[in-house]
Amino acid sequence: MTRPPHVAVVGAGIVGASIAWHLAQAGATVTLVEAGTAGGLATGASFAWINASWGNPHPYFRLRTRSMADWRRLGAALPDLPLAWCGGLLWDLAPDELDTYARTHGAWGYGIRPVDRAAIAALEPNLLAPPARAVHVAGEGAVEARAAALALVADAARRGARLLTGSFVRALATLGGTVVGIETAAGRIGADAVVLAAGVATPALAATAGAMVPLAPRPGLLIESAPSTPLLNGIVIAPELELRQAADSRLVIAADFEDDAETAAHATFARAIAMVRGVGALTLDRHQVGLRPIPPDGFPIVGAVPGVPGLHVAVMHSGVTLAPAVGRHVTDVVLYGRHDALFDPYGPARFAASA
Ligand SMILES: Cc1cc2nc3c(=O)[nH]c(=O)nc-3n(C[C@H](O)[C@H](O)[C@H](O)COP(=O)(O)OP(=O)(O)OC[C@H]3O[C@@H](n4cnc5c(N)ncnc54)[C@H](O)[C@@H]3O)c2cc1C
């Protein structure tokens, strides 16, 4: 009888958690190694909007909608996952861009609907100054990303995965150019395959086996209020800020910022609460800066690393949206050598030419 392959997954954010869960569910022997505590870094700072929204070419739209469907699959497998299919309302585009978005994505079957001020007010009665026009996508949602990662890790452990937290991976272990495991402070962990899902730390780790995985990380700001009363029904994407209400009714606000995160957090929070009726004296509870793990071309980097047998990577922005599809795909590739053509454009090989 052949033993199941042993796969070491580095990083227990939403991406590594999903990969570990899918591998464990498929019967692999899994060791999930995390430098800190499970739940991730970017993951804990994520706005966690699950979407296939504007600005993406059709193949990438298809991957994102596949993953939206895969979130529903995960939600059926783990009913306690903190998912909310609450819909998204968006107007952070110029009128002609809004039209183009509604037209293209409508033709692609996204379930997108142009809405006027009255319809916006019906969707979100507590918006104080609803815009004249927006688009609404009922099929979009959000997930409490860190909690979801923890739930996936816990279920993977129930299925036999070993979780090592507080275990910093210093380097990949190689033998004759093949990756044969990972080096931690506690020693080497041998593995048949290693998956790097270490977010912004992925390039440095890949480099220890001579692999180039380029990233151009960008900071993003996440702001949370103290719990409030229910005020918003769904996700609101307005110019310069994104807004939703979490399961425990905290307002969650994401924004980009230029210089000083503290000042930007207070200014963004003030703008957000000025948009919503009934927030009263709601206070800013906390803010954090998360590094978005963005590949140079903006698309995910997922798959086997060419020329480095035994090594796979999974690093991306929109990792919350994409985690379920990535977990399934990486499992198919690592365990069965089965490659989903939807992932063809996103392999690490595309950067080899520029190395
Ligand atoms: C402000 C903000 C808003 C965002 N909004 C959205 C959104 O609305 N929708 C969406 O889909 N995406 C969004 N994103 C992006 C998304 O959050 C990330 O793509 C996703 O969380 C990446 O998950 P990850 O598991 O790859 O990385 P991380 O969550 O960063 O996890 C990586 C893990 O690897 C561990 N690690 C690193 N190095 C080592 C090592 N040497 N040894 C062991 N462990 C190691 C880290 O400790 C960490 O736990 C947002 C990001 C930010 C910052």
Per-residue model confidence (pLDDT) at position 233? 97
Q: What is the mean pLDDT of residues 39-68?
A: 97
The reply to whether ligand 1 has any atom less than 6 angstroms from the CB of 71 is: no
Query: Which residue lies with its CA nearest to atom 3 of ligand 1?
Result: 46
**pLDDT for the residue 281:** 82
Domain 6-45+146-214+296-354 belongs in CATH node 2.60.120.260: no
pLDDT of residue 2: 78
pLDDT > 90: percent of the chain: 94
3-state secondary structure the chain: CCCCCEEEEECCCHHHHHHHHHHHHCCCEEEEECCCCCCCCCHHHCCCEECCCCCCCHHHHHHHHHHHHHHHHHHHHCCCCCEECCCEEECCCCHHHHHHHHHHHHHCCCCEEEEEHHHHHHHCCCECCCCCEEEEECCCEEECHHHHHHHHHHHHHHCCCEEECCCCEEEEEEECCEEEEEEECCEEEECCEEEECCHHHHHHHHHCCCCCCCCCCEEEEEEEEEECCCCCCCEEEECCEEEEECCCCEEEEEECCCCCHHHHHHHHHHHHHHHECCCCCCCEEEEEEEEECCCCCCCCEEEECCCCCCEEEEECCCHHHHHHHHHHHHHHHHHHCCCCHHHHHHCHHHHHHHC
Q: What is the pLDDT of residues 171-184, one digit of tens each?
A: 999 999 999 999 99
Q: Is 316 in the pocket of ligand 1 (CB under 6 A)?
A: yes
Categorize the per-residue pLDDT at 1 as very low, low, confident or very high, splitting at 50, 70 and 90. Answer: low
Percent of the chain surpassing pLDDT 70: 99
What are the domain boundaries of the chain? 6-45+146-214+296-354, 85-140+217-292
Residue 349 has pLDDT above 90, yes or no: yes
Mutate to test the pocket of ligand 1, among 53, 292, 322 (most ligand atoms within 8 A of CB): 292
Whether 174 lines ligand 1, by a CB cut-off of 6 Å, is: no
State pTM to two decimals. 0.98
What is the pLDDT, as a whole number, of residue 130?
A: 97
Domain over 85-140+217-292 is classified CATH 3.30.9.10: yes
Please report the pLDDT score of residue 290 as a whole number: 97
CB 310 within 8 A of CB 8: no
What is the average pLDDT across 336-342?
Answer: 96
pLDDT of residue 353: 54
Q: Model confidence over 241-251: pLDDT tens digits?
A: 999 999 899 99
pLDDT for 156 equals 98
Q: pLDDT at residue 354 above 70?
A: no
The predicted-structure confidence for 198-236, as pLDDT tens digits, reads as follows: 999 999 999 999 999 999 999 999 999 999 899 999 999
Atom of ligand 1 nearest to the CA of 200: 30
pLDDT at 300 exceeding the cut of 70: yes
Decide which of 278 and 335 is more confident. 335
| pLDDT tops 70 at residue 355 | no
Which residue of 32, 43, 65, 213 sits with most ligand 1 atoms within 8 Å of its CB, as the best mutation to test the pocket?
43
Q: Check residue 19 and give its pLDDT.
A: 99
pLDDT of residue 320: 98
Q: What is the whole-number distance in angstroms between the Cα of residue 64 and the centre of ligand 1?
A: 17
Distance CA 308, CA 312 (A): 9
Q: Mean of the pLDDT values across residues 147-162?
A: 98
Q: Is the pLDDT of residue 27 over 60?
A: yes
